Amino acid sequence: MDLDAITKHSASHAKPDGLILQYGTAGFRTKADRLDHVMFRMGLLAVLRSKQTKSTIGVMVTASHNPEDDNGVKLVDPLGEMLAPSWEEHATHLANAEEQDLARALVAISEEAAVNLHQDAFVVIGRDTRPSSEKLSESVIDGVTVLGGQFHDYGLLTTPQLHYMVCCRNTGGQYGEATIDGYYHKLSTAFVELSKQASCSGDDHRTLKVDCANGIGALKLKEMKHYLPQGLSVQLFNDGTKKLNHFCGADFVKSHQKPPEGIEMKANERCCSFDGDADRIIYYYCDVDGHFHLIDGDKIATLISSFLKELLLEIGESLTVGVVQTAYANGSSTRYLEEVMKVPVYCTKTGVKHLHHKAQEFDLGVYFEANGHGTVLFSKAAEAKIRQLAKELEDKKGKAAKMLENVIDLFNQATGDAISDMLVIEAILALKGLTIQQWDALYTDLPNRQLKVKVADRQVISTTDAERQVVKPPGLQEAINDLVKKYKLSRAFVRPSGTEDVVRVYAEADSQENADSLAYEVSLAVF
């Protein structure tokens, strides 16, 4: 390591004095103008991680659903998964080292993680459409090159596309070709093959309106449209001409429980929203009375897992299907999955890495956060079995096995992916001849409310039991329990956010009014 060169370059990416940032659930996130030093340093860290794992590492510049003036950065590990927890700590140390301590911090990390500095390093970089993203990604590249790393800059990509590229590059092309064309080709081929099995075609429920949050999803979906069959007509709204995530996008729709601005919705039309980096998707429609119906990640998980179970039943294979949720999953969804569908359901802490990890325990692991971030993981053994059955079986069984094989290829198994999930959902609806209203009618969500509470220090709250119970400060859980007892079908919990400086409050109850007032009362107890 040429420590002098690093110190010299770092001076042009100087850290603002006293600024302390944390590598949170989705990497670093804050106002874009405070992030230049973090980008340079994450370029350095990506090189060390690449040397240590002898693999290509990804760096994504995005702040997802957060406002346009924000930005962020996260590292992607070799198989396309989130950065390992011990390296999140290294990231935090490196980002917070004062200028004069930077070289020492780098040496300390390479020693602690036993990095072979003579090993080659390769880093791939992607960025979203924020005005600040291009310059910030150049700072990442500066960090990579000063440590002698090689790189490929993919430029504009959705977050899940970058995860896909990393996975392809580290699996010798087995997962797919590590190009944007390779991504579109893999997904569209699987979608076309799967859709061929649908008996109904050409009717009105093959039109889908997509709110792209004025983000990267618009750009990439426009490119992908050329690869899609004519049977599916995708109409884009909020296509990037207005402000990113402003009154639109999956996060807006889910948290406000109302349609985004900038989309023309007619009664009963099927619509969906992506978030700012296209790793989340939410469906919805308005009925003839003008009532808004939200179909969130929980209902997406239900549709997908019931489809997977039906295929497995048809094939006659007893592979295990598990569903992973967080505490934010609507109580009705958990009940429906467990009691009606008889699928085992597990609850993990918030943050995709926790869900992803748990989902790896099953042959087919379905995971979704209520906010629409999720995918399905197939174990290596299950995948091999399904591919073999698709070759061997005939008639109805063979058809089901082939469909399942296409489903494997259509999911982005590296991470939740709005484009890939959208195609899976569209294929399932067409195959089953389901309207969005019939899908919605699987179960009725319990009315719920989420609130944010600003406190002096959100870390004074600590939780256990997958964030459903407070351990500290003393007395808070008892207070929540007493409030919950006042309402029917009620549940509530609080937890410090991993991405914003707030405490989040969630409540559900038998009516919207009761859910609102329970959430409000719990938020008062937090102060």
Give the residues lining the site for ligand NG1 (CB under 6 A): 25-26, 64, 328, 350-351, 369, 371, 373, 497-500, 504
2 annotated as ligand-binding:
no
Q: Give percent helix, percent strand, percent coil of the chain, each to the nearest 5.
A: 45, 20, 35
Is the distance from CB of 146 to CB of 9 less than 8 angstroms? Answer: yes
By a kind-dependent CB cut-off of 5 to 8 A, residue 10 interacts, out of Zn ion, ligand NG1, none, with: none
Q: Is 143 known to sit in a ligand binding site?
A: no
* Residue 322, strand partner residues: 365
497 is in an annotated binding site: yes
Beta carbon of residue 280, minimum distance to Zn ion (angstroms, whole number): 5
With contact defined as beta carbons under 8 Å apart, do 509 and 489 qualify?
yes
Q: Does 426 bind Zn ion (CB under 5 A)?
A: no
Q: Is 169 annotated as a binding residue?
A: no
For position 142 contacting Zn ion by CB under 5 A, the verdict is no
Tokens found for residue 90: 């290294």
Q: Which one, of 480, 457, 482, 455, lies nearest residue 468 by Cα?
A: 480
Are 272 and 284 a contacting pair, CB within 8 Å?
yes
The helix (run of H) or strand (run of E) holding residue 476 is helix 476-485
Q: Does 275 count as an annotated binding residue?
A: yes
Amino acid at 505: V
- According to CB under 5 A, which residues from 273 to 312 bind Zn ion? 275, 277, 279
Residue 467 CB, nearest distance to Zn ion (Å)? Answer: 20
Closest contact distance (angstroms) between CB of 230 and Zn ion is 30
Which is nearer to ligand NG1, 96 or 499 (by Cβ)?
499
Q: Which residue is nearest to ligand NG1 (CB)?
A: 498
Residue 64 or residue 188: which is nearer to Zn ion going by CB?
64
Q: How far is the CB of 502 from ligand NG1 (least distance, A)?
A: 8
Nearer to ligand NG1, 134 or 500 (CB): 500
50 is in an annotated binding site: no
277 binds, among Zn ion, ligand NG1, none (CB under 5 to 8 A by kind): Zn ion
72 versus 176: smaller Cβ distance to Zn ion: 72
Out of Zn ion, ligand NG1, none, what residue 369 binds, judged by CB under 5 to 8 A for its kind, is: ligand NG1
> Do the bridges between strand 462-464 and strand 469-472 make them parallel or antiparallel, or are there none, so unpaired?
antiparallel
Query: Looking at beta carbons, which residue is closest to Zn ion?
Result: 64
Burial of 278 (0-12, 13-18, 19+ CB in 10 A): buried
Residue 391: its H or E element: helix 380-392
Hey, how many other C-beta atoms are within 10 angstroms of the C-beta on 224?
20
Q: How far is the CB of 277 from Zn ion (least distance, A)?
A: 4
Minimum distance from residue 505 beta carbon to ligand NG1 (Å):
10
* Identity of the residue, 77 or 383, whose beta carbon is nearer to ligand NG1 in the bound complex: 77
As a whole number of angstroms, the distance between CA 325 and CA 413 comes to: 17
Residue whose pair of structure tokens reads 């020492």 in the numeric block: 104
Nearest to 332 by CA among 296, 304, 359, 305: 296
64/195 with CB nearer Zn ion: 64
Q: Is 499 annotated as a binding residue?
A: yes
Rounded CA separation 13/7 (Å) = 10
**What is the spatial distance between Cα 161 and Cα 178, in angstroms, rounded to a whole number?**
9
Q: Residue 275 binds what, of Zn ion, ligand NG1, none (CB under 5 to 8 Å, by partner type)?
A: Zn ion
Instruction: Using alpha carbons, list the distances in angstroms from residue 179 to 163, 173, 186, 379.
Output: 12, 10, 11, 25
Whose CA is closest to 333, among 443, 450, 449, 438? 443
The answer on whether 468 is annotated among ligand-binding residues is no
- Which among ligand NG1, Zn ion, none contacts residue 328 (Cβ within 5 to 8 A by kind)? ligand NG1
Which residues 51-90 are close enough to bind Zn ion by CB under 5 A?
Answer: 64
Q: Which residues are catalytic?
A: 64
Q: Compare residues 163 and 299 and give the one whose CB is closer to Zn ion.
A: 163
Residues in CB range of 450: below 8 A, 6 or more apart: 255, 328, 504, 505, 506, 519
Smallest separation, CB 35 to ligand NG1 (Å) = 17
CA gyration radius, the chain? 23
Binding-site ranges for Zn ion (CB under 5 A):
64, 275, 277, 279
Which positions make up the binding site for Mg(2+)? 64, 275, 277, 279
Which positions make up the binding site for substrate? 369-371, 495-499, 504
Which positions make up the binding site? 64, 275, 277, 279, 369-371, 495-499, 504
